[in-house]
Amino acid sequence: MDRIPEQALDWAEAGQPVALATVVETWGSAPRRAGAQLVVAGDGTMMGSVSGGCVEGAVVVEALEALEDGRTRLLEYGVSDGDAFAVGLACGGTIKVLVEPVGPEALSLEMLRELVARRAARKPVAYEVALDGSDRRLTGAGHEDRFRRDRSGVEDETGRFIAIHNPPLRLVIVGAVHIAQHLVRMATEAGFAPIVVDPREAFGSPARFPDCQVVNDWPDAALREIGVDARTAVVLLTHDPKLDDPALHVALGSEAFYIGALGSTRTQASRLDRLAEAGVAAEQAARIHGPVGLDIGAASPAEIAVSILAQMIQSLRRP
């Protein structure tokens, strides 16, 4: 999970001067997309990146200068700029970076607190800012297409930069099986917060899943308690209709962006028959990816986890 705003707030409330640097536009083969952020403290400590390492040094220098005068800066680096070669951006890309000190003349501490609070409450929020730093606001509506695509960028009509802050991605895995152990690790690296659900405590134990939340409850009750939303993927791995089917009913009634279920083509056909008998419409049941995962010829539990994660990302980025 990207916790750059949270880190900025932590440093600011600890008394450190803080500046946020955000990629607002890119061209060519720039390594980070619009919305990528770097936070810089007054002592030079930094977290995050705006270019994967190419221009961070130059941006940090500008951020420290911005902390001295309190003013917003719009920076541009590209291969046509001699200074850009000096800092390593020689791969054909060009980026614009907005540097905003946290303070009364730029991004206020109150607005940063509100942004972090909305993120913590899993509320989608857009941070709008004029590129000259003259105006800022937070809104939860008006950019539905950007929220859906998880895409920050400059609006052609207004010239304002829109930073999209969607709720963190989550992955609910029903079935604490071997595949789940691999999938938890891989999904965490990809930015998902995993939750493993299994009423069988011998399977769903902290010893087997030490680095994620484990819920020992029936899947349908657990999913209702978790609150499956549009930033949540649900993967069913138990291969047991007594556990999978109740979870499917909850998942299919939610806005989950991905629903996958383990099993063969024959298992999937039987699953769809049971759902139809239970009154689930065919178009609703068609949301289920079954057999789960991309068809890459996966054989081992780790390879199956790779195929599942790849399909989840495909569903998220190419809806």
Q: For residues 50 and 151, state if they share a domain.
A: yes
What is the model's pLDDT at position 122? 86
Q: For residues 107 and 212, state if they share a domain.
A: no
Q: Which domain holds residue 304?
A: 170-317
**Of all residues in the chain, what percent carry a pLDDT higher than 70?**
93
User: Cα separation of 39 and 99, whole Å?
Assistant: 9
Give the domain-ending residue among 148, 165, 182: 165
Short-list 40, 46, 23, CA closest to 93: 23
Q: For residues 147 and 184, state if they share a domain.
A: no
Q: For residues 128 and 242, state if they share a domain.
A: no
Q: For residues 116 and 184, state if they share a domain.
A: no
Give the residue, 123 or 260, on which the prediction is more confident: 260
Tokens of 95: 């980026």
Indicate the angle between helix axes 301-317 and 178-189, nearest 10 degrees.
40
pLDDT tens for 56-104 read: 889 999 999 999 999 999 999 875 545 445 545 545 568 899 999 999 9
**Which distant-in-sequence residues (6+ apart) come within 8 Å of 97 by Cβ?**
21, 22, 23, 24, 50, 55, 59, 74, 75, 76, 77
Q: For residues 95 and 191, state if they share a domain.
A: no
Q: For residues 248 and 119, state if they share a domain.
A: no
Q: For residues 17 and 94, state if they share a domain.
A: yes
pLDDT at residue 313 is higher than 60:
yes
Give the domain-ending residue among 165, 196, 218: 165
Q: In what order do the strands lie in the sheet with 258-261?
A: 213-215, 193-197, 170-174, 232-236, 258-261, 288-289
What's the number of domains the chain is made of? 2
Q: For residues 146 and 197, state if they share a domain.
A: no
pLDDT band for position 216 (cuts 50, 70, 90): very high
Give the domain-ending residue among 123, 138, 165: 165
- Best-predicted range by mean pLDDT among 77-91, 141-155, 193-207? 193-207
pLDDT band for position 1 (cuts 50, 70, 90): very low
